[in-house]
Amino acid sequence: MVPQLSEAVMDTIADALVETGYIVLPDTLPPSVCEQLLLSSKNATWDDFRPAAIGRGGEQQLVESIRSDQIRWLSEQRTADKLYLELMTQLREGMNKRLFMGLFDFESHYAIYEPGAFYKKHSDVLQGSRNRILTSVLFLNHDWKPEHGGELIVYDENDNKLETISPNFGKWVVFLSERFPHEVLRTEVNRYSIAGWFRVSNANHGF
């Protein structure tokens, strides 16, 4: 059965994007889907993952002093990925309906942070491009403890720290990509997540 995001959840997310620009949702996505995603990530071989790069297109480069996670792009050919992508399609359609955001595409990858890995403060909007509009991050870590580190730190446009978010299993963060620089603190254990971005075809959007 295809999982569904309720109209109430859509309303809650839309209201938060208007009021604050971001929202942290615990236990909103179906736990069964989250479990499948975690298994898909854990069961993959390291050959399936590759070091994450920064930049875009031909300017991509590996800079381990900035980020040191390993990634694998989602594919509709994998069952768990397809379920998650269907949920993200529902979110895209829901936000377009409520906020006229003009979202038309979604790209997403698994991210594994091994012990010692981190991602310094950055923006999801790639240099020379403003087509990433909305960011989605889903955490897949059972029994996360403060001593494990790996928190997501969200900043405002003036680099003031807004929130420290622990990467607990099923926690889902949605925010406007252009407005919130963020970082992932060093993790002491394996940390699993899925990051994704909704895009528009150009810089002109209705929101």
Q: What is the pLDDT of residues 81-101, one digit of tens each?
A: 999 999 999 999 999 999 999
Residues in the chain: 207
Number of Cβ atoms within 10 Å of the Cβ of 180: 20
Q: What is the mean pLDDT of residues 150-179?
A: 97
pTM over 0.75: yes
CA dihedral 56, 94, 169, 85 (to 10 degrees): -60
Spacing of C-alpha 183 from chain mean position? 12
Calpha distance 141→35 (Å, rounded)? 10
**Model confidence band, residue 2 (pLDDT cutoffs 50, 70, 90):** confident
Q: What is the mean pLDDT of residues 121-126?
A: 88
**Model confidence at 130: pLDDT above 80:** no
Calpha distance 104→96 (Å, rounded)? 9
Residue 14 or residue 127, greater confidence: 14
